[in-house]
A and B are shown apart, each in its own frame.
Chain A
């Protein structure tokens, strides 16, 4: 079921198998029948590495979500809590355990922290008087989860906020740990590059930037951890040639723009969670009659999206404007294939046709789904408002009128469009102008607070701390220099047959990916000036390999680069990297890892203040 993970240049199924084994080992430690109580957030990520079958084979008979008061009745010997190390969850667990104690037959409690144990949480359990009730308290290092043949994510929702707002390094630590795991499985990565600073202190804007930089931190952590793996020399032939660590705050611009690839738009409009998307059911009428006609579909249609689906793999990374023609071509091919049945005369021919039927039917189903999705998306992209929004975004990104109050943004506020949309646009303008003029910034702030509520002062402060929304200081706008040097705006972006990564945003070439592209060829020395403008230093480190493991590349063989986005990556950026991987003379193939798959909306939302 996870064969799509092994399609890529690097077989990520190896990683999946390793984490599955670890899970099985833990389950077997708790002998006898089991019930698992899940931290609800974890079920999505867990679904990517194990299904109920695996748990069932290890005597898991019941599963619940973690909720207050008492546990539902379950006639099992063991109760295992699988949770993130968060204090508020500890309170709920304690409540569960205490009410269970009163109820009667003793059973064994265990707790599995994902991705790691937390002394703080255990302290809380102790304070609540239940720590002693747990027989096994362990951690399950589910740091990097394979999403696709070339994609890994930690799905750590708060990573950006923790790193950039709260200056908490824990997610960096997990990133380093995830990278260690990868090295254990795929060999030491000989070369590490990095760009960006993390954990800058911007509280009060007076504290000087922290001298520690996150990629260095991650790199340092990796090297330190390696030493601690008790000197066991990694004897696996290295699969990756390079590691590129990119800080999200080196490129704050890209996630703010509306993604225009097929997958990117699905995510923008419906939100892809753990490779699943929920869609309005109306367009997906039941394909079989007699399922009860009055039983109209009311629940969202849920689809899994990954490269295991042939058609999706083909269209996911295309500009949406190029998807329609592919779909109609496919439709013709499929109906032609079904027509073949009329030509099948002999028993052999019929047999052959029949043997192809399942594949054809699957292809037809897949085509039907994506045609429906494309229709749904088209309804949005052809709307007047979408067009207006895109126009403004593109003006900002190409450097037009970024220094004054934008009338479309004003209109959006006046019509009370969703706050996230407004914030995203204002932040985009700010980033494309190296900060807004104080007067413009104050105007936007006032409009937002008066229209959406004063409590959003807190959110505005967060955005400012993260560098997304700020006053222009020093009076110089450096964005035009960056844009020109890195060729971020391409007027002639070809959406149908792209020749450059700028096709993913119909003109804007994602900065992060451009940096990766330039690193691979001709190297970062060519853009020293721009690298100095972008936040944080750049960095290169070598990890020495024993001679036996040094790679001799065959002529024409591509390098494999692992690119790690600290703080999140968008589907459009992934598409751009896949485009580079597929270039005939590109020379580099990419495997992408990140702390979280994000889009502009989910990213901004993660920075908004909500009640505790």
Chain B
């Protein structure tokens, strides 16, 4: 179900709007243009500007006109702002009146000194300005022959009692109010429903369903709808819409559609803000008839929030006490509550990296509890430690010891990715270089080394490849007189190498 604020204007948050509404100084409504900071001054300046644009552009071949004595007026949305700002004191209204010359409106002949309102959308391009006269005129005759559309103009209320189910449904569809109460027998009621369904009009179907819901017992209603799928789906939609969870549960249980039931129940948690309450609610979801994989995810969802609540309380305390270095140096930007698992792991690698496995906030504990794959873990830990520039930890992440005690570097995510992440966290060249060297594929290595200016790696690789041309080309990219240039020259002049080109 969508919210009352449609998704179309995603850039405005609810917060903005509430703030707007509560602000004491009533400002104009804004629709789809700019947000707040509207002042009348700005508005009028814009008006003057647009007027000038308008005059400059010199196209008055528009058909849509309004008398407004020169004051540019916008689209509907602009106008809402304009007229709404008018709603202050009488004094303000007077001012506005003068400014807008409402009074002169009546005196002007309609199409005089008028402008297309659409043109005052913020864009101020002047579409339509290339139209020839004949194009413009072709619009006019249309008005005279466009036939009448729309509703019959009859009365909306009707007291007649003799309507058959099909007449009744037809009248409902035309928006007339009809009493359904006369239909008392089950047979009549079902006929009414079937007529409504055959009209395909969701509005009427729902209206009949409301009537049935009120006048039939649950058992009979469910039984009859089970064999009437279209009506059934409308009832489900309707119950979801009005939030009648209780009946919905009963219905799903009756229909044995348990997975849907479980999901519908789980969905509710989105509306619970309080973390404790949300956690308790999630607990009620565990054990509901989800699919096997979903069950595991739901369980994890609960466990994660439970963890987060503990971590949050603990860390908030640590932070405010001011005794812990990491929180002093890197104050938390936001609460960890309701963050995804990977974000939580990142947080834990950032603030609690060295903790023993036994604590709830330790990364290793998280990894075990949620069976986080090694790849995911390494990636996240790397990002967190690199952000803190803890190169030693980074090094340790990729170092493995074999049984003889030899150490070896190994990266389950591939060293090319390690390099990218390190670079993103602005690791120094020496560090980068080390990992670029570990990239196995030579082409990738060369690309990365070039991209991140690891000169030594590029030079050594070219030498190993015996690629004289590429080395020559690279020479032009390093600074004149630098150590790199010297190194290149030394290699180029070496007689030991048998160049391949």
Q: Which residues of B contact A119 (CB under 8 A)?
A: 172, 203-204, 206-207, 210
Decide if B234 is an interface residue (CB 8 Å cutoff).
yes
- Is B267 a contact of A609 with CB atoms below 8 Å? yes
Distance of A139 Cα from B174 Cα, bound (Å): 10
Q: Which residues of B contact A116 (CB under 8 A)?
A: 175, 203
Decide if B15 is an interface residue (CB 8 Å cutoff).
no
Q: Which residues of A contact B156 (CB under 8 A)?
A: 137
- Is A170 a contact of B139 with CB atoms below 8 Å? no
- Is A17 a contact of B146 with CB atoms below 8 Å? yes
Name the interface residues of B227-246: CB closer than 8 Å to any CB of A.
229-230, 233-234, 236-238, 240-243
Query: Closest CB of chain A to B341's CB: distance in Å?
Result: 4
Name the interface residues of A171-187: CB closer than 8 Å to any CB of B.
172-173, 176, 181, 184-185
Q: A72-B84, A201-B233, A361-B56 are in contact. Are A451 and B341 (CB under 8 A)?
A: yes
* Complex interface: stretch among A300-308, A328-336, A560-568: A300-308
Query: Closest CB of chain B to A314's CB: distance in Å?
Result: 12
Decide if B370 is an interface residue (CB 8 Å cutoff).
yes
Q: Which residues of B contact A276 (CB under 8 A)?
A: 32, 121, 123
Distance of A1 Cα from B64 Cα, bound (Å): 6
Other-chain residue from B2, B4, B145, B339 in contact with A157 (beta carbon distance below 8 A)? B2
* Complex interface: stretch among A217-225, A342-350, A495-503, A571-579: A217-225
Q: Which residues of A contact B370 (CB under 8 A)?
A: 450
- Top-7 shortest CB links A-B: A53-B66, A170-B202, A51-B117, A52-B79, A308-B127, A454-B301, A302-B122
Q: A47-B75, A291-B49 are in contact. Are A166 and B233 (CB under 8 A)?
A: yes
Interface-centre pick from B122, B126, B156, B202 (highest chain A CB count, 10 A) = B202
Distance of A290 Cα from B122 Cα, bound (Å): 19
Decide if A107 is an interface residue (CB 8 Å cutoff).
no
* Complex interface: stretch among B128-136, B183-191, B453-461, B493-501: B128-136
Name the interface residues of B60-100: CB closer than 8 Å to any CB of A.
62-66, 68, 73-80, 82-84, 86-88, 93
Query: Closest CB of chain B to A379's CB: distance in Å?
Result: 19
Q: Which residues of A contact B76 (CB under 8 A)?
A: 38, 43, 46-47, 50-52, 55, 63
Interface-centre pick from A157, A414, A452 (highest chain B CB count, 10 A) = A414
- Is B294 a contact of A65 with CB atoms below 8 Å? no
- Is B175 a contact of A117 with CB atoms below 8 Å? yes
- Is B57 a contact of A361 with CB atoms below 8 Å? yes
- Is A117 a contact of B4 with CB atoms below 8 Å? no
Decide if A128 is an interface residue (CB 8 Å cutoff).
no
Decide if B9 is an interface residue (CB 8 Å cutoff).
yes
Decide if A168 is an interface residue (CB 8 Å cutoff).
yes
Q: Which residues of A contact B77 (CB under 8 A)?
A: 43-44, 47
A: contact size bracket: 35 or more
* Complex interface: stretch among A202-210, A251-259, A519-527, A533-541: A202-210
Distance of A236 Cα from B145 Cα, bound (Å): 11
* Complex interface: stretch among B147-155, B215-223, B429-437, B469-477: B147-155
* Complex interface: stretch among A3-11, A317-325, A545-553: A3-11
Residue in A closest to B64 when the chains form the complex, CB atoms: A1
Q: Which residues of B contact A167 (CB under 8 A)?
A: 230, 233-234, 237
* Complex interface: stretch among A82-90, A96-104, A504-512, A585-593: A82-90
Decide if A517 is an interface residue (CB 8 Å cutoff).
no
Name the interface residues of A48-86: CB closer than 8 Å to any CB of B.
50-57, 61-65, 67-69, 72-75, 85-86
* Complex interface: stretch among A393-401, A421-429, A455-463, A481-489: A455-463
* Complex interface: stretch among B258-266, B311-319, B386-394, B478-486: B258-266
Other-chain residue from A40, A68, A72, A455 in contact with B31 (beta carbon distance below 8 A)? A40
- Is B304 a contact of A1 with CB atoms below 8 Å? no
Interface-centre pick from B63, B82, B117, B135 (highest chain A CB count, 10 A) = B117
Name the interface residues of B355-408: CB closer than 8 Å to any CB of A.
370, 372, 376, 379
Q: A120-B203, A141-B150 are in contact. Are A51 and B129 (CB under 8 A)?
A: no
- Is B123 a contact of A302 with CB atoms below 8 Å? yes
Decide if B7 is an interface residue (CB 8 Å cutoff).
yes
Q: Which residues of A contact B68 (CB under 8 A)?
A: 53, 56
Decide if B168 is an interface residue (CB 8 Å cutoff).
no
Decide if B342 is an interface residue (CB 8 Å cutoff).
yes
Interfacial residues, chain A to chain B (CB-CB below 8 A):
1-4, 6-7, 11, 13-15, 17-19, 21-22, 35, 38, 40-41, 43-44, 46-47, 50-57, 61-65, 67-69, 72-75, 85-89, 92, 116-120, 123, 137-139, 141, 157-158, 166-170, 172-173, 176, 181, 184-185, 199, 201, 203-204, 207, 210, 212, 217, 220-221, 224, 228, 236, 273, 276, 288, 291-292, 299-304, 306, 308-310, 312, 358-359, 361-362, 365-366, 369, 411, 414, 416, 442, 445-447, 449-455, 457-458, 461, 602, 605-606, 609-612
Interface-centre pick from A199, A221, A292, A457 (highest chain B CB count, 10 A) = A457
Distance of A221 Cα from B267 Cα, bound (Å): 35
Residue in B closest to A120 when the chains form the complex, CB atoms: B206
Distance of A202 Cα from B433 Cα, bound (Å): 54
- Is B237 a contact of A168 with CB atoms below 8 Å? yes
Q: Which residues of B contact A89 (CB under 8 A)?
A: 4
Query: Closest CB of chain B to A410's CB: distance in Å?
Result: 9
Q: A13-B139, A47-B118 are in contact. Are A40 and B9 (CB under 8 A)?
A: yes
Other-chain residue from A38, A44, A185, A210 in contact with B147 (beta carbon distance below 8 A)? A185
Other-chain residue from B87, B139, B170, B267 in contact with A62 (beta carbon distance below 8 A)? B87
Q: Which residues of A contact B45 (CB under 8 A)?
A: 292
Other-chain residue from A288, A300, A452, A612 in contact with B3 (beta carbon distance below 8 A)? A612
Other-chain residue from B126, B202, B341 in contact with A168 (beta carbon distance below 8 A)? B202
Distance of A4 Cα from B294 Cα, bound (Å): 52
- Is B146 a contact of A52 with CB atoms below 8 Å? no
How many residue pairs link A and B with beta carbons under 8 A? The number is 343
Other-chain residue from B80, B126, B417 in contact with A63 (beta carbon distance below 8 A)? B80
- Is A303 a contact of B123 with CB atoms below 8 Å? yes
Decide if B29 is an interface residue (CB 8 Å cutoff).
yes
- Is B200 a contact of A173 with CB atoms below 8 Å? yes
- Is B3 a contact of A4 with CB atoms below 8 Å? no
- Is B201 a contact of A4 with CB atoms below 8 Å? no
Q: Which residues of B contact A54 (CB under 8 A)?
A: 64
Q: Which residues of B contact A312 (CB under 8 A)?
A: 127
Distance of A56 Cα from B304 Cα, bound (Å): 57
Contact with A along B166-178 (1 / 0, CB 8 A): 0000101001000
Residue in A closest to B138 when the chains form the complex, CB atoms: A6
Residue in B closest to A229 when the chains form the complex, CB atoms: B152
- Is A450 a contact of B7 with CB atoms below 8 Å? no
Other-chain residue from A14, A118, A173 in contact with B142 (beta carbon distance below 8 A)? A14
Q: A52-B74, A63-B80, A123-B210 are in contact. Are A304 and B125 (CB under 8 A)?
A: yes
Query: Closest CB of chain B to A55's CB: distance in Å?
Result: 7
Query: Closest CB of chain A to B144's CB: distance in Å?
Result: 9
A-B contact pairs, 15 of them (CB 8 A): A1-B62, A18-B148, A38-B80, A40-B6, A40-B9, A64-B84, A67-B17, A120-B207, A157-B2, A169-B230, A210-B230, A358-B57, A365-B125, A454-B300, A458-B263
Decide if B293 is an interface residue (CB 8 Å cutoff).
yes
Other-chain residue from A85, A304, A450 in contact with B341 (beta carbon distance below 8 A)? A450
Other-chain residue from B73, B118, B234, B301 in contact with A455 (beta carbon distance below 8 A)? B301
- Is B293 a contact of A445 with CB atoms below 8 Å? yes
- Is A86 a contact of B203 with CB atoms below 8 Å? no
Decide if B257 is an interface residue (CB 8 Å cutoff).
yes
- Is B29 a contact of A3 with CB atoms below 8 Å? no
Query: Closest CB of chain B to A462's CB: distance in Å?
Result: 10
Other-chain residue from B87, B130, B202, B294 in contact with A72 (beta carbon distance below 8 A)? B87
Q: A169-B200, A228-B170, A455-B270 are in contact. Are A304 and B129 (CB under 8 A)?
A: no
Distance of A306 Cα from B121 Cα, bound (Å): 14
Q: Which residues of B contact A606 (CB under 8 A)?
A: 7
Distance of A15 Cα from B146 Cα, bound (Å): 8
Query: Closest CB of chain A to B161's CB: distance in Å?
Result: 19
Distance of A191 Cα from B300 Cα, bound (Å): 55
Q: Which residues of B contact A44 (CB under 8 A)?
A: 8, 32, 77
Distance of A361 Cα from B34 Cα, bound (Å): 27
